[in-house]
Structure 1
Amino acid sequence: MRIITGSARGIALKTLEGERTRPTAEKVKEAIFSALQFDLEGRTFLDLFAGSGQMGLEALSRGAVRAVFIDEGRDAMEIIKENAKKTGFFEKSHFLVSDYRNYLRKAAGRETFDIVFIDPPYAERIAADAMLRVIAAGMAKHGTLFVLESEEEDVLAGVVREDLVLQKAKKYGRTYVHIYRYVKEKDDE
C-alpha cells in the first residue's frame, strides 16, 4: 500500500493486520481520487473508520489542507500517526480514537468538512447511517462530498433525501463506491 500521487507520491504505508481492518484496494483508491481530483486542493477531509489513514493521507498528498482521522482502534491510530509522520503530514492531521457516533455527537457543529470518506467494516452496513449522522451533526456544508465504500449496491435503500445528489456509483468486485454531494438549502445556512 502506498501514496499514489502528489507530494508524498510512492511512499509506502503500514497497515494493521486483522479482520477489522480492510484497506481500500489500490484500484478502488485510484478510481475514487480520479473522481475527486478537482475537489481536493485547499479542502478539508474527514476520514471516518480511518484504518491505516491511507485515504486521508492521499488527500493531503493531493492538496487537501487538513485531514481528521477517526478510528475506534488504538492500534489503528498508532499506525495512522506513524504513516502521517512518514509522509510529512502529521502537522496537517488531527487524530482521535473514537467510535464514529461518539465523535459526531461530541464534535457536532464545531467544524465542517469539504470531503467525508466513510468506509466502515462491510458487515456492519452503517455507511449511510454515518453519512446521515455527519449531516445531522452540522458537519457538512453546501457542496460537501461524501464518498461511501461498502458492499451495498443501494447504500441509501429506502432513504429519500433531496439534499443528497448522487454524483457517481461504481462497482469494483464486491465493493461499491457511491459519491454524493450535499446540497444544503439556503435557509439552513
Structure 2
Amino acid sequence: MRVISGICKGKQLKAVPGKSTRPTTDKVKEAIFNMVGPYFSGGIGLDLFAGSGGLGIEALSRGFEKMIFVDKDSKAIQTIHANIDFCSFREQSEVYRNDSFRALQVLKKRGIRFDGVFLDPPYRKQKLEELLSIFNNGYIKENGFIVCEHSKEVTLPARSGNLRQWKHETYGIIGVTIYRMTEDTEEKGD
C-alpha cells in the first residue's frame, strides 16, 4: 500500500495490524482519484472509516489542505498517526477515535463543510444510504463529492437529496460510487 501520486508519491504506508480493516487497493485508489481529481487546489476532506488513512493521505498528497480522519478502532488510529507523521501531514490532519455517526454530530456542531468525503465502511456493516442522507444536511460544499467504496453487490440510489450519483465503477468485488452535491434536485443536462 503506497501513496500513488502527488508530493508523497511512492511512500509506503503501514497497514492496520490484524484483519479488522480492508485497505483500498492501489488500483482502486488510483481509479478513484482519476475520477475526482486527479489533483486539488486546497479543500477540506473527511476520511470516515479511515483504517490506515490511505485515502485521506492520498488526497493530502494531491493537494487537499486539510483532512479529518475518523475510525473507531484503536489500532487504526495508531496506524493513521504513524502514516501521517511519515508523510509529514501532522499539521494538515485531525485524527479522532469515534463512531462515525457520533463523529458527524461533533463535526456538524463545528460547522465544517467538506469538499470531499471518503466512505469505506466494513462491507458487512455498511450503512451508506443512511450516511448519504446525513450528508445532505449541510456537510458538503456545493460541487463537493462523496466517494463510497462498497461491495459490488450493493446498489446505491441515483439521488439522495441534493447528492446526485456522478460515477459508478466496479473493480473485481469492489464497487465505487461517487456523488456530487448539487444546488437543487432538478435534473441537469449532461
* 1:133-164 Cα shifts (integer Å, max 9, x gaps): 2223x2112111010000144123xx853512
Secondary structure of 1:108's match?
helix
Aligned counterparts of 1:36 and 1:161: Cα–Cα separation in 2: 19
Aligned counterparts of 2:44 and 2:12: Cα–Cα separation in 1: 23
* 1:88-141 Cα shifts (integer Å, max 9, x gaps): 1111000100000111112215200000000000011212222222223x2112
**2:163 pairs with 1:164:** yes
Deviates more, 1:171-180 or 1:15-24: 15-24
Q: Conserved in 1, the CA contact under 8 Å of 2:17 and 2:75?
A: no
Q: Which runs of 5+ in 1 are unaligned?
A: none
CA RMSD of aligned residues (A): 1.8
Deviates more, 1:162-171 or 1:34-43: 34-43
Deviates more, 1:107-116 or 1:37-46: 37-46
| Paired-residue identity, % | 36
Q: Conserved in 1, the CA contact under 8 Å of 2:147 and 2:176?
A: yes
Q: Name the residue aligned to 1:76.
A: 76
Report deviation, 1:17: 2.7
Q: Name the residue aligned to 1:41.
A: 41
* 1:36-84 Cα shifts (integer Å, max 9, x gaps): 2256221111000000000000000001100000000111111101100
TM-score under structure 1 length normalisation: 0.90
Q: Name the residue aligned to 1:117.
A: 118
Aligned counterparts of 1:68 and 1:139: Cα–Cα separation in 2: 13
Q: Name the residue aligned to 1:179.
A: 178
AA matched with 2:116: I
Report deviation, 1:20: 2.2
Aligned counterparts of 1:161 and 1:67: Cα–Cα separation in 2: 24
Secondary structure of 2:23's match?
coil
Aligned counterparts of 1:162 and 1:155: Cα–Cα separation in 2: 13
Number of positions where the alignment pairs a residue of Structure 1 with one of Structure 2: 183
Q: Name the residue aligned to 1:142.
A: 142
Q: Which runs of 5+ in 2 are unaligned?
A: 186-190
AA matched with 2:23: P
Q: 1:100 to 1:14 in 2, by over 3 A?
A: same
TM-score under structure 2 length normalisation: 0.90
